[in-house]
Amino acid sequence: MKLFLDTNIVLDVTAERQPFQADAERVVALVENRDAAAAVSAISYTTVHYVMSKGMGQEEAFEALRIMRRLFETVPCDADIIGTAMDSGLPDFEDAVQ
């Protein structure tokens, strides 16, 4: 099974956001146990860093990014993806990019 994880799933785990943390941890555990593979968008790294560094500091933020790089494949974000997202008509631009 291959999963694409929205940035919010990663933040629910790394920032321990309630009430979603436990469910998000179960998803990440599938990857850690090699029951699934997962990917995240390249834009997830900047968002996770921003949120984590504000709440927990730079080192904790970079440690979260290191873990993300180890666990997840990174899907690139380029001009074509941005254009497709802009033309998609989806109301949430971030979700459209992802």
For the chain, give the mean pLDDT. Answer: 95
55 pLDDT higher than 90:
no
6's enclosing H/E stretch is: none
> How many domains are contained in the chain?
1
Residue 10: which domain range?
Answer: 2-97
CATH of the domain at 32: 3.40.50.1010
Exposed, middle or buried by CB within 10 Å (0-12, 13-18, 19+), for 3?
Answer: middle
Amino acid at 69: R
Per-residue pLDDT tens over the stretch 23-43: 999 999 999 999 999 999 999
DSSP strand pairing (73-75 vs 2-4): unpaired
Q: What is the pTM of this model?
A: 0.87
Quote the CA–CA distance of 16 and 28 in Å, as a whole number.
13
If you average pLDDT over residues 69-77, what whole number do you get?
96
**Local structure of residue 33 (DSSP, 8 states):** T
If you average pLDDT over residues 89-95, what whole number do you get?
92
